[in-house]
């Protein structure tokens, strides 16, 4: 889905329920989260949905590409979520021996393919780590030093799966998603080495 609205959270998640064979957990229904208008980024495209996890029949995910800087947003609120792990990847200050100080990173993407792979990573993380929710947001365009280009947000019943899932998502995102990074320096620019895109990922 394509949108030109201000950056926003995905629609509120439907109620997540336990599968009949799952162990009893605390209440896992969702509650509405505050709808924050954050920054000036525009949503380029997004995908969201539900997927069965080992303990939940309708865990949820939201993936987005946004223009400009990525910012933190409140996730959907699950009563059964004892852990929220949020990672923001930021542009760090660096100095090139030839081109001087780094001013920004500039990201380019194949939007439809990138969204497809991000959604696949979110679904796989939910299934592998028994999660309640995953949000992945990535910037396209210019991200100055100090600002964030990626948000990975994981909700789970316990903290260990949230840590493991976040690390796995970030590792696979950098390996598989067709998003390319250009380093813009004071005097010139360079491209970060990439890997071949997996067309059928």
- Local confidence pLDDT in tens for the 201 residues of the chain: 333 333 333 654 333 333 333 333 333 444 444 333 334 468 989 999 999 999 988 899 999 999 999 999 999 999 999 999 999 999 999 998 888 999 999 999 999 999 999 999 999 999 999 999 999 999 999 999 999 999 999 999 999 999 999 999 999 999 999 999 999 999 888 987 644 444 444
3-state helix, strand, coil in the chain (%, to 5): 20, 40, 45
**The pLDDT of residue 193:** 63
Residues near 158 by beta carbon (within 8 Å), at least 6 away in sequence: 82, 83
- Tell me the C-alpha distance between 72 and 150, whole Å: 9
The number of beta carbons lying within 10 Å of the beta carbon of residue 18 is 15
Cβ contact 106:181 at 8 Å = yes
For 29, 40, 94, 102, 134, the CA distances from 62, given in Å and listed in that order, are 17, 19, 32, 31, 6
DSSP for residue 48: E
Predicted structure pTM score: 0.80
E strands in the chain: 30-31, 42-51, 59-67, 77-78, 83-90, 95-96, 100-109, 133-144, 148-156, 179-185, 188-191
**The pLDDT of residue 99:** 86
Cβ contact 114:179 at 8 Å = yes
């Amino acid at each position: 889905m394509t949108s030109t609205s201000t950056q926003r959270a995905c629609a509120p998640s439907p109620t997540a329920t336990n599968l009949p064979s799952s162990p009893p957990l605390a209440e896992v229904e969702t509650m509405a989260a505050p709808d924050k208008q954050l920054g000036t980024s525009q949503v380029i495209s997004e995908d969201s949905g539900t997927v069965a996890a080992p303990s939940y029949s309708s865990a949820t995910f939201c993936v987005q590409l946004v223009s400009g800087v990525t910012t933190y947003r409140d996730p959907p609120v699950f009563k059964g979520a004892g852990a929220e792990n949020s990672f923001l990847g930021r542009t760090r200050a660096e100095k090139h021996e030839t081109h001087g100080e780094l001013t920004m990173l500039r990201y380019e993407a194949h939007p439809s393919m990138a969204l497809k792979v991000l959604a696949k990573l979110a679904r796989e993380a939910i299934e592998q780590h028994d999660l309640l929710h995953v949000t992945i947001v990535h910037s396209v365009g210019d991200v100055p030093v100090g600002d964030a280009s990626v948000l990975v947000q994981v909700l789970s019943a316990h903290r260990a799966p949230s840590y493991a899932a976040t690390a796995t998502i970030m590792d696979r995102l950098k390996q598989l998603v067709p998003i390319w990074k250009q380093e813009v320096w004071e005097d010139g620019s360079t491209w970060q080495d990439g890997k071949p895109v997996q067309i059928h990922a």
